[in-house]
Amino acid sequence: WMMGKMERLVVGCCGWGGLNPKDFGIEGWKEKFPSKLALYSALFPCVEVNQTFYRLPQLRTAERWLEEARSVREDFEFTLKVPQTITHKDKFRTEASLEAYKSTLEVAKALDAKILLFQTPKSLRDDSLPDMERFFSRIERKGLTLVLEPRGLSKENALSLCERLGLIFCFDPFAQRPEDLPGDLLYVRLHGSPPGERMYRYEYKPEDLKWLGEVLPELSRGRRACYCLFNNIPMHRSARLFMEMMGLWRPLL
């Protein structure tokens, strides 16, 4: 069984810290790799940095990450989750959001990241839409692709906001499959529930991933790429299994 035809499928995980080398049959990785990130880069082509949601790293740290990852895989790619100051605390309202965004741009540049993810909290309501509209109209894009994972907002309003402001609508295909997605890129994040009963704990089964491999090409038709990020606790094992099924698993070990 092989996947449907796709322009470009990029599979990764939301973080590298929890990677367990034993899951991959790798012994003595510390002799071969300077860091867990370098090892991760040997296995996967992309990572979504989630620690930036809590705190932005210093620029020299971000530069070191890029160097470590690209020394192993020269086209390795970082995507970035923006700080909670913007999405959860200030909720796009004031200068605080604009300032946090400016700092995020610097980190994105240091990581050579081309995609920023804005994940809104479940507590966000549609009355925040004017603030979001104002925020996204004012900021500099610098050629970046901006992705919105709109928790809390109604789907219709979130989709039309994305359409108007040139944002990519992020979703979990196991939970929903929106029609008429705007944009030339697909960005999906897999949280484990559904199909699992509890968010994050679920380990995807081969039949789940087979279904995913059939659905993503349909959703990606006519787009330049599909980014598929695993965010369940056993994310690294799940991403590997999916890459194997899609004929993409080629570790640089």
List the domains of the chain with CATH numbers.
Answer: 9-245 (3.20.20.410)
DSSP designation for 122: T
Structure-derived torsion over alpha carbons of residues 219, 105, 164, 188, reported in degrees to the nearest 10: 20
Q: So what's the pLDDT on residue 5?
A: 60
Q: What is the pLDDT of residues 139-173, one digit of tens each?
A: 999 999 999 999 999 999 999 999 999 999 999 99
Least confident of 2-6, 93-97, 104-108, 217-221: 2-6
Please tell me the predicted confidence (pLDDT) of residue 141: 96
**Average model confidence (pLDDT) across the chain:** 96
The pLDDT of residue 4 is above 90: no
Report residue 179's pLDDT band, with 50, 70 and 90 as the boundaries: confident
Burial of 149 (0-12, 13-18, 19+ CB in 10 A): buried
Tell me the three-class secondary structure of 188-217, residue by residue.
EEECCCCCCCCCCCCCCCHHHHHHHHHHHH
Q: How far is CA 64 from CA 21, 38, 112, 185, in A?
A: 22, 11, 12, 28
- Rounded-to-10 torsion of CA 218, 14, 60, 168: 40
Does the model's pTM come out above 0.75? yes
The secondary structure element, H or E, covering residue 67 is helix 59-72
Task: Let me know if 84 is exposed, middle or buried by CB neighbors in 10 A (0-12, 13-18, 19+).
Answer: middle
111-120, 196-205, 219-228: least confidently modelled range: 196-205
* pLDDT exceeds cutoff 90 at 180: no
The most distant pair of C-alpha atoms in the chain lies apart, rounded to whole Å, by 54
Answer yes or no: are the C-beta atoms of 167 and 146 closer than 8 Å.
Answer: yes
pLDDT reported for residue 225:
96
Measured between alpha carbons, how far is 240 from 170 in angstroms, rounded to an integer?
A: 22
Please give the share of the chain, as a percent, with pLDDT higher than 70: 98
Which structure tokens are listed for 189? Answer: 């994040």
CA distances from 36 to 58, 147, 178, 253 (A): 19, 27, 36, 13
pLDDT in tens, 200-222: 889 999 999 999 999 999 999 99
Whether omega for the bond prior to residue 195 falls within 30 degrees of 0, making it cis, is yes
